[in-house]
Amino acid sequence: MTKKKVAVIGATGIAGQQFLASLINHPMFEVTTLAASLRSAGKIYKDAITSDNGSLQWFCQGDPPSPFLKLKVENVLDINPKELDLIFTAVESDAAKEIEPRLAQSTPVISTASAFRGDQDVPIFIPGVNMEHEQLIPVQKLKRQWKGFISPVPNCTTTGLAMALKPIQTAFGIKKVIMTSMQACSGAGRSPGVIALDIMDNIIPYIPKEEEKVHFETKKILGKFSDNVIQPADFLISTTCTRVPVLDAHTEVVYASLRTKGSIDQVKAVLRSFGSEFVQMGFPSCPSKLIEVLEDPFRPQPRRDRDNGEGMTTTIGRVREDEALENGIKFVLTSHNTKMGAARGAILIAEYLAYKGYI
């Protein structure tokens, strides 16, 4: 099989770097094109990520993959999307709003930006959770008269929550969800990101726009495709999103009221068996389990569990009855915000969509 030709837009930023770190030696995708802002355009990648004082601005584990170091970084305006099979974008929402529609006219765009998540004809995929929303892709293409399409991944806080809720929703139905998040600093990126003076020995109880995103996206992702639109799930949802002194992985404390009562053993069973069909499709970036349920009451912990399944597994613990909600359950989950919750999750989506012929 010849590999698909792939571009990474925003390749010098931290999210773009995460794409590159996950795309090296990828069996299906070959990165042929890097693009970034004007400041970097025209340089080779190595120079584009080297600061004036000679420091390599590479923020993923290990060294930057050497094949990419010599690629020329292009101005995003100069890219010819027709020469590409797939485009990953890792840019801010405002930039995405301008860039992505132009690229999507000819080529599929998988994006980490929030710009188009709210559009009715745009699916927000989480691997194994709502792949049937793929039916929205032809709707989008037809409506916009595009050859490509835009498919954003969700906010990284939504990812773990919707992943955990999906099997519960399927088995028992959900009436209400209350969630408190304790989010990692990497979720805020580096421009400027979270300042050490603000977060060391501290908690910041507010992340602007985060709760609204989680509410909207979770209901859309767990919604039902019918009549060419997604009907959002109809449960009530309330969240408080906080920032804590953790480097990577979001931890979420979830309380849910179910439509029909499920015993704790039943809830654990549906969580544990979730996603086996998706996993068996054998995509390169797919972990062996989408969800892992631990019995140790001291788990999950973000530092110890974030790399489960190479950062692609949602780890759940403390599943127990809730004393306050009708048919209530509660649990704690940890999900790696910059792996399953960002670039690697986007790549897994792309693997699926390529397999299904959308790319």
Residues near a second copy, by CB under 8 A: 53-56, 59, 61, 176-178, 180, 182, 185-186, 190, 192-206, 208, 215, 236-238, 240, 242, 244-247, 251, 253, 255, 295-304, 307, 317-318, 322-325, 328, 330, 332
Tokens at 285, concatenated? 């970036």
Longest dimension (CA), the chain: 61
Q: 256: helix, coil or strand?
A: strand
Please identify, using beta-carbon distances, which residue of 58 and 146 lies nearer to a second copy: 58
Q: Find out whether the peptide bond into 302 is cis, omega within 30 degrees of 0.
A: no
In angstroms, give the least distance from the CB of 298 to a second copy: 5
Residue 134, SS3 per DSSP: helix
Sign of the C-alpha dihedral computed for residues 41, 340, 221 and 203 taken in this order: negative
Pick between residue 33 and residue 157 the one whose CB is nearest to a second copy.
157
Which residue is associated with the tokens 């080297």? 50
Rounded Cα gap, residues 102 and 123, in angstroms: 18
CA angle, residues 120, 277, 345, in degrees to nearest 5: 50
CB of 9 or CB of 14, closer to a second copy: 14
CB of 243 to a second copy, least distance (A): 9
Exactly one of 156, 185, 241, 286 is catalytic; which is it?
156
User: Among residues 70 and 303, whose Cβ is nearest to a second copy?
Assistant: 303
Is the preceding peptide bond at 192 cis, omega within 30 degrees of 0? yes
Nearest residue (CB) to a second copy, 118 versus 138: 118
Shorter beta-carbon distance to a second copy: residue 107 or 335 = 335
Q: Between 141 and 299, name the residue whose CB sits nearer to a second copy.
A: 299
Smallest gap from Cβ 106 to a second copy, in A, equals 36
Selecting among 133, 250, 286, 336, the annotated active-site residue is 250
CA distance 236 to 318: 22
Active site residue 185: no
Q: Where does residue 70 fall: left (phi above 0), alpha (psi -120 to 50 degrees), or beta otherwise? A: alpha
Closest distance to a second copy from the beta carbon of 164 (Å): 14
Which pair of tokens denotes residue 165? Answer: 């809720």
Minimum CB separation of residue 317 from a second copy in Å reads 7
- Type of residue at 153: V
Shortest Å, Cβ 206 to a second copy:
4
Residues whose CB is less than 8 angstroms from the CB of residue 26 and which lie 6 or more positions away in sequence, other chains included: 3, 284, 347
Whether 250 is catalytic is yes
Location of structure tokens 């692609």: 312
Extract the tokens encoding 353: 């969509």
Q: How far is the CB of 113 from a second copy (least distance, A)?
A: 20
Reduced to 3 states (helix: H, G, I; strand: E, B; else coil), residue 10 is: coil
- Write the burial class of residue 176 (CB in 10 Å: 0-12 exposed, 13-18 middle, 19+ buried): middle
Active site positions, annotated: 156, 250
